[in-house]
Amino acid sequence: MPDLSYQNWLSVRKDTVLDFVQNSINKFAASSRQSELLIKAVQVYPAFRAHPDSAHPYIHVPLLVYAGITGDDSGAIPVSGVALMIRIASKLYDDFMDGDLSEEWMDSPHHEIFDTVLTLACLLPYCVLADLDIKPANRLEMQQLLSESLLKMLAGQSQDLANKNQAFVSSQDVEASVIGKSGAAIALTAGLAAKLADAPLGVTRAYMDFGLALGVLNLVVKDIYEMFKDPECRDLVQGTRTMQIALALEEMSDSERASFLELLEGARSKETARDRVRKELRKMRYF
């Protein structure tokens, strides 16, 4: 590990991983237009604007896992690059499906958005793994883990979309969505780093379990913050069924549920209704 303070380490490694991603784009992009779109996706990634100095799980978790096994984090830069590519792709896809694209993408043709998502998630990561100087067996395991995890993430996203605006969504359905969207993603980053470090199977599984728990917690905390601290609360505006809402719906009688669903519908367009939803959830202790 470099001899840096924690905050400096976060910043230095973020810059190093971003340089790696940009170099990979320059190396593997099929055209100048594709390169331009991919670089734009990296530059306008919302988390870097909202939390420029914070730890970013997709960048820093692989480095910490690799360092925990080998004593040095530098060898995991390619894995952190892969993880960041996948996260940027999944965020762009999520925003597109939710109708919540940032200003930079609003006027982009849909085929360019999908090309960017697919290239970042399903092409560049495999190019990076193919470029690593590692044992073929390790590379194959990493490629298999990547493929399986991408399918789990897509399933989680699909479950989330299926849950929107539903009269009843079970907490198990929301849990499956959270595990797929965020848990499987961070588990992937930890697993790739452990496999790159040639860790024993038990060690790899332990780090992946840690990543799964961290990913689930990361999304649940984000949802709670957005529900109770963000005046706009995009989840309510978009009709997303978060864990708090699912648990509340499960607890309610039929008449209570009907009234609450009417309130949720109003919350899509009215701040007063959103405030009433928050009050109901607090009253039921889902905060």
Go through the domains of the chain in sequence order and give each one's CATH number: 6-157+186-215 (1.10.600.10)
177 pLDDT tier (thresholds 50, 70, 90): very high
Cβ atoms of 102 and 244 within 8 Å: the answer is no
Ramachandran category for residue 246: left, alpha or beta (phi over 0 → left; psi -120 to 50 → alpha): alpha
pTM: 0.91
Query: Given a cut of 80, is residue 2 above it in pLDDT?
Result: no
Scan for tokens 């730890």, then name that residue.
Answer: 55
The helix/strand count (H/E) of the chain reads as 15, 0
Mean pLDDT of the chain: 94
For 69-126, what is each residue's pLDDT tens digit?
999 999 999 999 999 999 999 999 999 998 889 999 999 999 999 999 999 999 999 9
Who has greater pLDDT, 96 or 285? 96
Residue type, 160: D
Q: Which two three-digit tokens encode residue 113?
A: 């958005």
Total residues belonging to the chain = 287
* CA–CA separation, 205 and 223 (whole Å): 27
* CA–CA separation, 189 and 94 (whole Å): 19
Q: Which two three-digit tokens encode residue 80?
A: 């952190």
Q: Return the DSSP state at 53.
A: T
Residue 3: per-residue pLDDT: 63
Who has greater pLDDT, 149 or 6? 149
Residue type, 27: K
For 191-206, what is each residue's pLDDT tens digit?
999 999 999 999 999 9
High-pLDDT (> 70) share of the chain, %: 99
